[in-house]
Structure 1
Amino acid sequence: MKKSELKAFGIIGGDKRQLFLAKSISDCCYDVILGGFDKLKSLGAIEISDIKTAISKSDAIIFPLPSICADGTVNTPFSDNKTRLDEEMISLLKEKPIFVAMKNKFLKAYPQLADCEVYDYSAKEEFAVANALLTAEGAVEIAMNEYEGTIFDSKCLVCGFGRIGKMLAKMLKSLNAQVTVSARNEVDFAYIDVLGCKHINTNALKSVKGYDLVFNTIPVMIFDSDLLMNTDRNTIIIDLASLPGGVDFEAARRYKTDAVRALSLPGRTAPKAAGEIIRKTIFNIIKEVYR
């Protein structure tokens, strides 16, 4: 397929990010058809239909972030119906470029599409960096809502120094928080020191004492029962890690530790910006593939 042949995009499922994505694509003079948005009565001039019709009438298909639920159904929070792609839908999809998030999980649920044009926009570096910024902003917003003090001069621990950890450490430091970052290697320690933050080794975390706010970005069970037992009760833990997460929430309840699971923050706190990031990333993929 040539780039000039892409005239209509089908957006299948998703949250508010996909609604702003639809508007953004429509503003670029493409037709957009939403599928799996049964609770939505209208969205301006954008067509709303069932999933099969949206796939059938579109030249390219976009699935949300995440694309697939744990049971293999399409992620459709704007619908009361659970939809699993049937053979007819799969047959239609085989003829079109498909843009997904978390491609491996998508293809595990639908291996019939493994040899098709399936592109993972969530794996692109430009998407990951921009999304990390939105996640960090959302984490600070949650902290401001949950913590009765101020971020200014608060004692914060950021666990992990990946994209989100880097953005969050810089953001908290700019708000004049006292920031400590946990990491595992000397290169990260050097960067953390340059930021003006303190560093500790994640492997050495045996207790969490003296912090007002803890932000976990590590998708491994860091805050298990043993660590939570040795965490101050007045510390607020905000878990930003993707599922299964890094906090044992059952143990947190048992020890009366205030822990917040903060998943999909860009979709909750900045859906317009998040939708625009998805559009830009997908359009960049199209430029690369259909030159």
Structure 2
Amino acid sequence: LAITIVGGDRRTEYYLPSLLQAGAKILAVGLTRLPCYLDVVPVDLLAGIRACHALLLPMAGMDAKGRVQSYYDDAPLVLDRTLSARGLLVLTGVARPELRELGAVNGWRICEIGADDELAYLNSVPTAEGAVRLAQDKAVKTVHGNRALVVGYGRCGITLAALLRGMGAHVTVAARQTGALAQAFAAGHSPQYMGDLSRGLASFDFVFNTVPALVFTEDVLVCMRRDSVLIDIASGGGVDYQAAMKLGRTAILAPSLPGKFTPETAGHILGRVLPRIIIENLPEER
């Protein structure tokens, strides 16, 4: 099984050994500074696509211009319409609309591994720790003894709320579904209906958004204190950042936190789940 890895953050060197141990041949694009003990074959992008059974992009995928980031190389990596490969499995954390469109043109089968339950639950731990660490860097007070609001109570929200409570914060969880609010209450948090988000927002020192939709509009942000910190870890963001800047509110979009703060742990998590995900999604004809 040949897998081409294109770019990536520091997690790459920690998940790669698991793929090698599983017997995969690794073709590396944009990874010239990988540690030398990793047995990979450097190739260019076109050669890597033509020779592989699966293409592995960074968790962040590509940007709107087709660019792929790499911690291990300074040379530009750009995906375009010349990279046709009918039926090629392309894995990424989250696929932007531009990647889906490019995949349709090139005949790729896009697989968003961020939607995998096992990965999402395991990844919620380094994500939550990274979010709290970033909030502490931006704040002038401790988490302990202060009030924190977690918006959304999915996989990341559950872990984040538990972490904050364990650190001594007074945690409120905002969600839409009554079941999620009941679950938050049972876990010891104060529940709040998301439709009432503006109510009481000024009482929170730390705010964390996990909902991938525009939740923090200008009308909501105006209710937030200037000395509060808002960390947005939702895929694609859920904050009107122009409004936040205009109002003088501290709001930070924080994607790919595991790769930035805890690459070793996050890389080992990927190494644990990637072999299974690749086998489950690999088309038989390749």
- Category of TM-score, reference length = shorter chain: 0.7 to 0.9
**Which whole-Å CA distance do the structure 2 matches of 1:289 and 1:256 have between them?**
46
Q: 2:67 aligned with 1:90, yes or no?
A: no
TM score, norm. by length of structure 2: 0.85
Equivalent residues in 2 for 1:57-76 (5 A)? 57-76=51-70
Q: 2:199 aligned with 1:219, yes or no?
A: no
1:226 Cα deviation after fit: 1.6
1:37 Cα deviation after fit: 3.4
Match of 1:155 in 2: 147
Change (3 A) 1:258 1:107: closer
Conservation of the 8 A alpha-carbon contact between 2:126 and 2:258? yes
Change (3 A) 1:205 1:36: same
Match of 1:247, SS state, is coil
1:206 Cα deviation after fit: 2.2
Match of 2:100 in 1: 107
Q: 2:13 aligned with 1:19, yes or no?
A: yes
Question: Which 5+ residue runs of structure 1 have no aligned equivalent?
Answer: 1-5
Conservation of the 8 A alpha-carbon contact between 2:63 and 2:96? no
Conservation of the 8 A alpha-carbon contact between 2:152 and 2:211? yes
173-182 or 258-267, which deviates more:
258-267
**Which whole-Å CA distance do the structure 1 matches of 2:280 and 2:239 have between them?**
39
**Which whole-Å CA distance do the structure 1 matches of 2:209 and 2:193 have between them?**
14
Match of 2:260 in 1: 268
- 2:29 paired residue among 19, 23, 35: 35
Q: 2:174 aligned with 1:182, yes or no?
A: yes
**Which whole-Å CA distance do the structure 2 matches of 1:257 and 1:20 have between them?**
37
Deviations 1:228-261 (A, max 9, x none): 2221111111111121x12222222222222222
**Deviant stretches of 4+, over 6 Å:** none
Change (3 A) 1:112 1:256: closer
Match of 1:130 in 2: 122
Change (3 A) 1:258 1:52: same
- 2:46 paired residue among 45, 52, 62: 52
Match of 2:11, SS state, is helix
In structure 2, give the amino acid aligned to 1:228: L
Change (3 A) 1:219 1:117: closer
1:273 Cα deviation after fit: 2.3
1:97 Cα deviation after fit: 4.2
CA RMSD of aligned residues (A): 2.6
Match of 1:209, SS state, is helix
**Which whole-Å CA distance do the structure 1 matches of 2:96 and 2:252 have between them?**
28
Match of 1:143, SS state, is helix
**Which whole-Å CA distance do the structure 1 matches of 2:129 and 2:76 have between them?**
32
Match of 2:160, SS state, is helix
Match of 1:218, SS state, is coil
**Which whole-Å CA distance do the structure 2 matches of 1:282 and 1:41 have between them?**
19
Match of 1:110, SS state, is helix
Match of 1:233, SS state, is coil
In structure 2, give the amino acid aligned to 1:254: K
167-176 or 15-24, which deviates more:
15-24
Q: 2:247 aligned with 1:252, yes or no?
A: no
Change (3 A) 1:262 1:104: closer
Match of 2:187 in 1: 195
Conservation of the 8 A alpha-carbon contact between 1:100 and 1:120? yes
In structure 1, give the amino acid aligned to 2:20: S
**Which whole-Å CA distance do the structure 2 matches of 1:69 and 1:43 have between them?**
29
**Which whole-Å CA distance do the structure 2 matches of 1:219 and 1:285 have between them?**
24
- 2:234 paired residue among 241, 258, 264: 241
Change (3 A) 1:117 1:230: closer
Match of 1:3 in 2: none
Match of 1:90, SS state, is coil
Deviations 1:83-129 (A, max 9, x none): 12453x323xx375443333574332221444x55543222211121
